């Protein structure tokens, strides 16, 4: 009994039962069965036959088996709509699955150029793109589909519509838009604290290319002695926003510090006055008021080294230094109290009753010396050369007025000076006058006698030379004693009261330049820098863009548009365009390449690299910066033009081994041209000459707006710029090889 039930319920029994049912249907001659079914059981089923079998109630399993075994004739026209129609006619799931195997299949290859990007088709996820940013999606039905890619949070979700033909494998390129921005913050003011706050981020410091969510942020930057900066910045999706931060000096706050320093000086707290004044000069090194306090406080403290250092800086800034003195005359014998005023160009004495002597140009002094008896009194003698018709020159004799010392004395001794203090003070004044007079004479030898005082640059002091006090000499007498007579020789050697300040280590001048020629070169470089906009302003230039037109041997008929991007110290990109002709030349500090109409060629021969390096270093503001950086490797000489006028020449053999000559116009102290040689494979060097014209002020710096280049004496290009911008921080990517 049990075995019988098992047989009846087995799969074999069910199949036999369904086969019998089919046979019975055929034998019964139901008209709904297509004749082809009865005539050829192996022939492929047509759509009409399947519909007929469904109408006759053929079981789902049997019909599915017929479809799988015999196939169908309408596979090319089979669609989802056809399957839906058959389902409405009674087709079961097995029959539908058998028919779905005959549906035409299509495919797409999705390319995003982004790895690990999710790909969805009709809201169904099919996978993640590979390293090359692509994914193959197969077994798609012909017709319309929606392809979506997701790469969160850096990119926005992106959808595209695709229409597929039967058995088509279509390439689909999807480029998602950035959903973030890139923020670069460059701090140009030292010791600046930067904070950027927003709803989604809180950043601090300086950074480059930081990824941030789009939105509005509040930027705050502060530094001691500067005005606090607070501003809103907006970062947009896909934007590369660059923000240079340069804070403005808090002049009001510094004036308050300077006032405190002046009060400390007036109350004889000279050490405190120096500390306060140094806070000002740490931010504004050339502040005249602070430099005067530093010089005068050092003078009061008999600090020879710092007095000469700060006194020199104060005079360079255009300030005047006053010293209480007594002017002594022999005929008639008088002693007039007054003030000796020293500037960078002259000296004068201001007395109680007018001016005993007029202002004297420093270059007119023929002698500055100390004379007298240290046991008695020492005098400062300023000598003028004799005039025509006179037998001897004019001497002005000064002694020091009491009451200047910063040391602590009893009330009764407040106005009393020791002989040592007096001698030290006069030595300090003599030393300041000597270095200022030498600087003035050196300046006039280069710049001419009519040069104004604002371009007066003293000679550069060789680092490490100690400040040596001047030596007092004995006065001439009618019956001088023998040389070994030490009766009237000063018995004390004054020393600075305070230790010398720390010095800045600099590169020593190499033997390839003579000390005298190098010293003259430093003077001329200093003059040129100050005339071009001051060293401080030139050093602040980090990058520059030059836009204009260029006429060259390639573009003789029509000027080409030209754009230069320069980043300190030696990165340069030149883009020129004339019609459809595009050319790019780049030197990125290590290698050089050029691109003409998209064809990239590397130019990395030693000769090409050297040429590109020199041109990048000396482009625009780089010329002045290179002269300053390599002044210890420079020498100066004079060359004459054909018309008889002269040019001052600075020859530099810099730390890279590059050699170039810069020719300066004596009247303007601006560079007229720069000449350098490039070795060639043929052995004959290539002489390249850049001539500079049309200087204009850009951010306080004079830059040439016209540059003409000669190679081997032949003019090859003329660049005339209509726009020059500085410190815009160009994207470093423009200097990369494509």
Q: What is the DSSP string of 43-61?
A: SPBPHHHHHHHHHTT--HH
Rounded CA separation 19/134 (Å) = 51
How many C-beta neighbours within 10 Å does residue 160 have?
A: 14
Rounded CA separation 224/246 (Å) = 13
Residue partners of 430: CB distance under 8 A and separation at least 6: 368, 369, 370, 380, 470
How many C-beta neighbours within 10 Å does residue 165 have?
A: 11
How many C-beta neighbours within 10 Å does residue 227 have?
A: 15
Specify the pLDDT at position 652: 92
Rounded CA separation 342/456 (Å) = 14
- Residue 158: φ, ψ to 5°: -130, 130
Specify the pLDDT at position 402: 55
Domain ranges, ordered by start, for the chain: 2-100, 106-173, 181-245, 253-407+415-455, 515-735
CATH architecture for segment(s) 181-245: Sandwich (2.60)
The strand pair at 543-552 and 560-567 is best described as antiparallel
The reply to whether domains 106-173 and 181-245 share a CATH topology is: yes
Q: Which fold has domain 106-173?
A: Immunoglobulin-like (2.60.40)
CA distances 332 to 329, 351, 443, 587, Å, are: 6, 17, 38, 75
Largest CA distance in the chain: 166
- Cα 382 to chain center, whole Å? 50
690 by DSSP, 3-state: which?
strand
Q: Which residue has the tokens 């810069």?
A: 662
- Cα 249 to chain center, whole Å? 21
CATH architecture for segment(s) 515-735: Clam (2.50)
Rounded CA separation 259/559 (Å) = 58
Specify the pLDDT at position 198: 80
536-548 per-position pLDDT tens digit: 788 888 899 999 9
Q: What is the 3-state secondary structure (H, E, C) of 595-657?
A: EECCEEEECCCHHHHHHHHHHHHCCCCHHHHHHHHCHHHEEEEEEECCCCCEEEEEEEECCCC
Q: What is the mean pLDDT of each run of 10 residues along the chain (738 residues)?
A: 42 53 46 48 87 90 90 85 90 90 89 92 94 91 92 92 90 91 85 82 76 90 90 88 86 91 94 94 88 93 90 89 84 77 88 67 88 75 74 76 44 51 84 88 66 38 33 39 39 41 36 68 85 83 91 72 90 85 85 81 82 91 91 84 76 88 86 88 79 90 93 88 87 75
Sign of CA dihedral 602, 606, 611, 616: positive
Specify the pLDDT at position 298: 92
Specify the pLDDT at position 556: 58
446's tokens: 């280069």
Q: Is the bond into 569 cis (omega within 30 degrees of 0)?
A: yes
- Residue 362: φ, ψ to 5°: -60, -35
CATH class of the domain defined by 253-407+415-455: mainly beta
Q: Is the bond into 718 cis (omega within 30 degrees of 0)?
A: no
Helix (H) or strand (E) holding 275: helix 270-281
Specify the pLDDT at position 390: 59
Specify burial of residue 60 (Cβ count, 10 A radius: 0-12, 13-18, 19+). middle
**First vs last C-alpha separation in the chain:** 87
Q: Compute the CA torsion angle 661, 667, 669, 672 (nearest 10 deg).
A: -40
Specify the pLDDT at position 8: 42
Rounded CA separation 119/151 (Å) = 9
């Amino acid at each position: 009994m049990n075995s019988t039930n098992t047989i009846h319920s087995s799969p074999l029994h069910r199949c036999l039962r369904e086969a019998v049912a089919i046979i019975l249907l055929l034998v019964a001659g139901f008209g709904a069965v297509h004749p082809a079914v009865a005539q050829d059981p192996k022939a492929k089923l047509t759509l009409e036959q399947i519909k007929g079998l469904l109408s006759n109630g053929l079981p789902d399993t049997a019909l599915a088996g017929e479809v799988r075994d015999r196939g169908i004739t309408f596979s090319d026209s089979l669609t989802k709509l056809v399957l839906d129609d058959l389902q409405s006619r009674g087709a079961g799931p097995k029959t539908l699955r058998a028919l779905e195997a005959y549906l035409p299949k299509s495919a797409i290859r999705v390319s995003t150029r982004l790895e690990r990007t999710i790909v969805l088709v009709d809201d169904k996820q099919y996978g993640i793109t590979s390293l090359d940013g692509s994914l193959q999606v197969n077994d798609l039905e012909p017709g319309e589909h929606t392809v979506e890619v997701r790469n969160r949070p850096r990119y926005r979700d992106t959808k595209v519509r695709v229409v597929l033909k039967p058995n088509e494998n279509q390439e689909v390129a999807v480029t998602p838009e950035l959903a973030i921005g890139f923020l670069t913050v460059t701090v140009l003011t030292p010791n600046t604290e930067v904070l950027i706050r927003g709803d989604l981020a809180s950043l601090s410091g300086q950074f480059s290319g930081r990824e941030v969510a789009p939105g509005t942020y509040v930027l705050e930057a502060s530094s001691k002695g500067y005005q606090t900066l607070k501003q809103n910045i907006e970062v947009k999706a896909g934007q590369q926003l660059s923000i240079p931060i340069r804070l403005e000096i808090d002049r009001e706050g510094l004036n308050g510090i300077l006032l405190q320093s002046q009060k400390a000086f007036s109350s004889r707290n000279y050490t405190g006055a120096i500390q306060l004044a140094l806070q000002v000069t740490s931010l504004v090194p050339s502040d005249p008021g602070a430099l005067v306090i530093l010089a005068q406080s050092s003078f009061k403290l008999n600090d020879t080294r710092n007095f000469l250092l700060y006194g020199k800086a104060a005079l360079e800034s255009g300030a005047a230094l006053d010293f209480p003195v007594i002017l002594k005359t022999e005929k008639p014998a008088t002693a007039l109290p007054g003030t000796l005023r020293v500037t960078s160009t002259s000296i004068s004495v201001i007395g109680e009753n007018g001016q005993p002597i007029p202002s004297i140009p420093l270059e007119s002094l023929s002698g500055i010396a100390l004379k007298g008896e240290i046991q008695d009194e020492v005098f400062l003698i300023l000598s003028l050369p004799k005039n025509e018709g006179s037998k001897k020159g004019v001497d002005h004799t000064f002694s020091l007025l009491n009451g200047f010392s910063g040391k602590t004395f009893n009330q009764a001794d407040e106005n009393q000076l020791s002989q040592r203090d007096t001698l030290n003070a006069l030595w300090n004044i003599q030393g300041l006058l000597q270095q200022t007079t030498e600087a003035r004479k050196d300046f006039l030898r280069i710049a001419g006698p009519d040069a104004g005082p604002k371009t007066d640059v003293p000679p550069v002091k060789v680092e490490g030379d100690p400040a040596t006090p001047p030596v007092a000499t004995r006065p001439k007498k009618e019956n001088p004693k023998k040389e070994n007579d030490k009766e009237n020789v000063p018995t004390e050697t004054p020393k600075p009261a305070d230790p010398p300040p720390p010095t800045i280590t600099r590169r020593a001048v190499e033997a390839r330049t003579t000390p005298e020629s190098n010293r003259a070169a430093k003077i001329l470089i200093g003059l040129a820098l100050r005339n071009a906009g001051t060293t401080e302003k030139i050093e602040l230039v980090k990058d520059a863009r030059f836009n204009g037109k260029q006429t060259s041997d390639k573009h003789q008929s029509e000027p080409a548009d030209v754009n230069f991007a320069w980043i300190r110290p030696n990165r340069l990109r030149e883009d020129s365009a004339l019609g459809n002709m595009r050319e790019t030349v780049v030197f990125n500090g290590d290698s050089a390449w050029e691109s003409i109409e998209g064809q990239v060629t590397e130019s990395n021969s030693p000769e090409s690299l050297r040429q590109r390096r020199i041109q990048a270093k000396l482009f625009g503001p780089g010329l002045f910066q290179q002269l300053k950086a390599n002044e210890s490797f420079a020498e100066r000489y004079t060359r004459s033009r054909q018309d008889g006028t002269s040019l001052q020449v600075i020859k530099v053999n810099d730390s890279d081994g590059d050699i170039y000559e810069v020719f300066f116009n004596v009247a303007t102290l601006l560079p007229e041209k720069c000449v350098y040689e490039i070795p060639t494979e043929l052995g004959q060097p290539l002489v390249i000459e850049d001539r500079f014209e049309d200087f204009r002020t850009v951010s306080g710096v004079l830059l040439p707006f016209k540059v003409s280049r000669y190679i081997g004496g032949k003019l090859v290009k003329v660049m005339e710029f209509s726009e020059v911008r500085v410190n815009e921080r160009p994207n470093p990517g423009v200097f990369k090889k494509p």
